Structures are given as structure tokens and as C-alpha cells.
Amino acid sequence: MSDSDGTVARHELGEFLRSRRERLSPEDVGLPPTGRRRTPGLRREEVAVLASVGVTWYTWLEQGRQINVSAQVLTAISRALKLDAAEAAYVRNLAGLPPVASDVPVCDPSLLIAVQPVLDKLDPYPACVQTPFFDIVAYNRAYRLLFADVDLLPAADRNCAVQFFTDPKWRDYYLDPDLVAARMVAKLRAEVGAAGDRDMPVVVERLREESAEFARLWDQRDVLLDRYEVKQLNSPIVGQLDLNFVSTIIPDTNHRMTVMTPADGGTTQRLEELSFGGREDAELVASRSASVDS
């Protein structure tokens, strides 16, 4: 890591710890209340006491100074600030503990060719393969009918986060877009920390410029590990879909395959309708929309 890279990482580590400190109250960590405070959250000296470290040393850590941070001390600070697993992993990676995971192999194009038949066999369940930063690198017909034909998009736009934060139609697919937005940004930040690459991904820099919502959520510094979720989507063709989002890492890669399975019988039926009749219905909807616009 170069000196400039280390400076950026130390600054982000300090800012993240400060943001987590400010969200806690004395009562949250078992300390007696002290009345109104000029600034929100715990004081630095309170965190230092809880983590059994020096106040000056902890202050320097938040200020991004070049100091040695051991795994044991960082664990103590994480516990003092009540960080969850995703947050604790994020600070460990920012501190270079454990060794960065940037040597995880990327996906070989030949492997994607081998994965495509698997995706196709999952029809009528939408499925795709994404990079850690949400680039869509493979998908099946059901995914295309539900969202879009990704191959028709410019290469730089073939990304779930880019589509969600820049294309209102993509956002409208979700019945709770605000929750989806917050979780997507938190997962992206966690992936940035886990990658160990101190250069900010292009997608993050782009969205901070193009989306005020993304910039606001990014500055909150929330992190979230990928996990099983049930999401409610709205297809303009078949209506509401309650879908289990089940993800797995493809072996020997850092790519993730996500399969969307029905969470109820009604969704099962609507996915079948979308798969077998979606192409014709989509063309009909498009032609009607063009007629209205003309």
C-alpha cells in the first residue's frame, strides 16, 4: 500500500469510527446518563475507557494519524462501539487486518460460459451473476423479462446500482425502493472495504456525482453483508412478485449468483405467466405506450 493509499484508508477508518460513535448514547453501552450534550453520541474518552485504550491514542485513530493498530485493539474498539459483523469486517479491512482480499481471483470468461446453461435451466426463476460492485455479467431470460435486456444497455450501465439510482423505471420495480436503496449502498460500501482496493470503484464515483440520494446514503457509512432477503417487486406485466433473493459465491471467483425464487403460490403462477407470455405482453405494452406518446 502506498503512503497516499494508506492516508485515504486511515482517514476513512477514522471517519467511520466517528460516525459509529456518534450514533450511540451512554445508555446504549451501560454508562450513566449525563444530561444534554453539545454533540451527539459518546465522547472519545468514553470509547477509550470501554475499549481499554488511551484517550490520546484513540483520538489519533479517529483523526487518521499514522499509528499501529493491532487486531486485538481493533476488536476491543469494535465491541465498544457495538459494531455488527459487517461493520467490524469493514474496519478490519480499512486497517489492513486481516490481509486484503484483493488477490481473490476474478471470474474467468470461460466459467461464465459454463454458468449460462445453469442460469437458463432456472427459468422461470430470474437469475443473474454479478461482480462484488453489482456489474451484471450474466443473466437468464426470466431476468430479462422482469427487468431489462441488459445486453442492450451501454457497457458502463450494466450495473444494478447504476440502473436503480439513474433509471426511474428500474426503481419502480420495487415496492419499497427506499429500503432497497439503503441496503444496496450499505452492501456496496461493505464490498469496497472487503476488496482492499483503496481506489474508489468507478461506479461509486459516478453515482456520487449523478445521484443525490446515493451520495447521501454513501455518506452515512452504513455497511451490510449480503444475506438472504425477501423482496416485493412489481412487474408491469404480471403484477406483484414476492421473491426470495438467494445468493451464492461462484467457487474460485468473487462473483455472486443470485436466484429469485417465489415466496408464495401466487408468485409462482405469475412467474410462469411472465416466462411463457411475457415476450408478447411486453411488445403489446410497448406498442400501446408508443401510441399514447404519439
In the chain, where the domains are located = 3-94, 109-177+223-293
Using one digit for the tens of pLDDT, what is the confidence trace for 238-290? 999 999 999 998 887 789 999 999 999 999 999 999 998 755 554 554 454 45
Kindly report the backbone phi and psi dihedral angles of residue 65, in degrees, each rounded to the nearest multiple of 5, phi listed first: -75, 160
Among 214, 99, 231, 130, smallest CA distance to 173 is for 231
pLDDT under 50: residue ranges of the chain: 1, 99-104, 282, 285-286, 288-289, 291-292, 294
Using one digit for the tens of pLDDT, what is the confidence trace for 76-94? 999 999 998 889 889 998 9
Kindly report the backbone phi and psi dihedral angles of residue 267, in degrees, each rounded to the nearest multiple of 5, phi listed first: -65, -35
Going across the sheet that includes 239-249, the strands are: 136-139, 127-130, 256-262, 239-249, 229-235
**pLDDT score, position 198:** 52
AA identity, residue 160: C
Domain 109-177+223-293, second-level architecture: 2-Layer Sandwich (3.30)
**pLDDT score, position 5:** 64
Domain 3-94, second-level architecture: Orthogonal Bundle (1.10)
Dist. CA 286–CA 281, nearest whole Å? 9
Dist. CA 183–CA 80, nearest whole Å? 24
**pLDDT score, position 103:** 40
Q: Can you list the alpha helix ranges (DSSP code H) found in 167-264?
A: 168-171, 177-195, 202-210, 212-219
129 bridge partner residues = 138, 257
110-127: string of b/e by CB count within 10 Å (b at 16+)? ebbeebeeebeebbbbbb
**pLDDT score, position 227:** 83
Q: Which helix (H) or strand (E) holds 114?
A: helix 109-121
DSSP-derived 3-state class of residue 234: strand
Dist. CA 34–CA 38, nearest whole Å? 11
**pLDDT score, position 196:** 56
**pLDDT score, position 282:** 45
Dist. CA 284–CA 151, nearest whole Å? 21
Among 81, 79, 73, smallest CA distance to 97 is for 73
Q: Which residues contact 200 (CB under 8 A, 6 or more apart)?
A: 192
- Same CATH topology for 3-94 and 109-177+223-293? no
**pLDDT score, position 270:** 96
Contact 14, 22 (CB under 8 A): no
Dist. CA 204–CA 215, nearest whole Å? 9
**pLDDT score, position 112:** 80
Q: What is the DSSP string of 51-86?
A: HT--HHHHHHHHTT------HHHHHHHHHHTT--HH
Dist. CA 280–CA 43, nearest whole Å? 62
**pLDDT score, position 269:** 96
